[in-house]
Amino acid sequence: MIPLLIGSFLGLVALGGTIAIAMLLSAIVYVAAGGRAEWTTLALKVVTGLDSFPLLAVPFFILAGDLMNHAGITDALADLSAAIVGRIRGGLAHVNVVTGMLMAGISGSASADSAALTSVFVPAMEQAGYPRPFAAALSASAGAIGPIIPPSIFMVIFGALGNVSVGRLFLGGAVPGVLMGVSLMIYAYAVARRRGYGAMKECISVLGFLRRLRAAAFPLLIPVIIIGGIVGGVVTPTEAGVLGVAAILVVGTLITRRLSLSGIMAALRSTVYTLGAVMFIVGAANIFAWILGLERMGEQLSRFLLSVTSSPLVMLVLINLILLVLGCLLDALAMLIVLTPILVPVVVSLGIDPVHFGVVMVLNLTIGLLTPPFGVVMFISSAIARVSIPEFVAEGWPMILGLIIVLFLCVFAPGLVLALPRALMP
């Protein structure tokens, strides 16, 4: 029955169906054809797949990202970034990347971060002489740092499914996230030299820098509250998400004073739409993964992978190459939900640290958000910037290549991922 399940899923995707719909309908085809599942079980598995306390963190991190975009926090972080890196050649591009890194410490959502960065920086970069496709691709790539630098929605889901400490995953993503930003800044600098883009002309005094730092101080405290609370064992990831939302509400209403009631309502509406889509994918993917478990697909795949190699390093490289290919074709969240329960036992049996694997897997799937033909972040930034997908890809592929280099750097040097978790959460 597995060929029928996989075949119907791939056929529906090829016909243009969304990943979640394709998973759900292929599960229905499986049951209708006499599979081992019952009709009543399908609905039950949707509910049980969402009945998870760690998953309660997801709506709060999504809401944090939406509130951030209405609270003036993006502008405050952009002003501080301009004061730090604006004088480097290609200054506005560097400001874009650094702002994305700072925002990643608040929302944990690639979609929210990319939308905010594209809206703010594409018009400004175009006015400064940068092509719109380059600005859109850079904004999307900087926004993709969101799921890596803690907090991270993807890491919360991986931790829940793989029974891995979310706090250790958060800490493990810090250094790779910074490396992603550095790789984008190196490429932006090279492009600026080749195309003649200059530094930002604005000259900022020490007093001006201190003013901008003060304006961004409270937003920068938000990730400290979230990560510090989790690492210190004071709060769970779900409670940390609530604290993050509360902190943004305080900053937006009392500090920046740009978060109005209408802005809060708009953020809540956006969160409901996004959460509905996310949870629909989670529910459908849970059914799909459960059927794969019934058919012992996980055991078969595990035996196959272990028959190919018993080397931990070769296994990591092999899995990442497969994920890079699948990331171009399938939804990142759906793959995370379906593959995590299958792959975690395989890597653990070879002595690979699950935190190392989790961060690398999330980084890999995040790169898939930027790649055609189904990259969600690619579509978001292209739509907001009003550039075509071919234009986006033409400017963005070197950035994606740089992120892939960072990915394999983390594969071959696990200390980049594990140093902070071992030091702060031994």
Dihedral sign (CA 116, 119, 121, 122): positive
Pick from 59, 104, 73, 61: nearest CA to 259? 73
- How confident is the model over 229-249, as a mean pLDDT? 85
Q: What is the pLDDT of residue 203?
A: 67
Q: How confident is the model at residue 341 (pLDDT cuts 50, 70, 90)?
A: confident
3-state secondary structure of 273: helix
Tell me: pLDDT of 413 over 90.
Answer: yes
3-state secondary structure of 303: helix
Q: Where are the alpha helices (DSSP H) in 163-260?
A: 166-195, 206-231, 237-250
Dihedral sign (CA 322, 327, 328, 331): positive
pLDDT digits (tens, 9 = 90+) for 345-371: 999 999 999 999 999 999 999 999 998
Residue 334 main-chain phi, psi, to 5 deg: -65, -45
Q: How is residue 150 annotated by DSSP?
A: S
Contact by Cβ (8 Å): 361, 341? no
Greater confidence, 37 or 211? 211
Q: What is the pLDDT of residue 188?
A: 94
Radius of gyration of the chain (CA): 21
Average pLDDT, the chain: 87
Dist CA 155 CA 133 (whole Å): 30
What pTM did the predictor assign? 0.87
**Which residues are CB-neighbours of 370 under 8 A, at least 6 positions away?**
140, 141, 144, 377, 378, 396, 399, 400, 403
3-state secondary structure of 387: coil
pLDDT digits (tens, 9 = 90+) for 267-314: 999 889 888 888 888 888 888 888 887 777 777 878 888 888 889 999
Instruction: Note the residue count of the chain.
Output: 426
- How confident is the model over 3-27, as a mean pLDDT? 84
Q: What is the pLDDT of residue 269?
A: 92
Span of 44-53, 134-143, 228-237, 278-287 with lowest mean pLDDT: 44-53
Tell me: pLDDT of 412 over 90.
Answer: yes
Could you give the C-alpha distances from 393 to 25, 75, 346, 372, 400, in angstroms and in order?
32, 27, 34, 8, 9
Q: Tokens 């175009």 map to which residue? A: 126
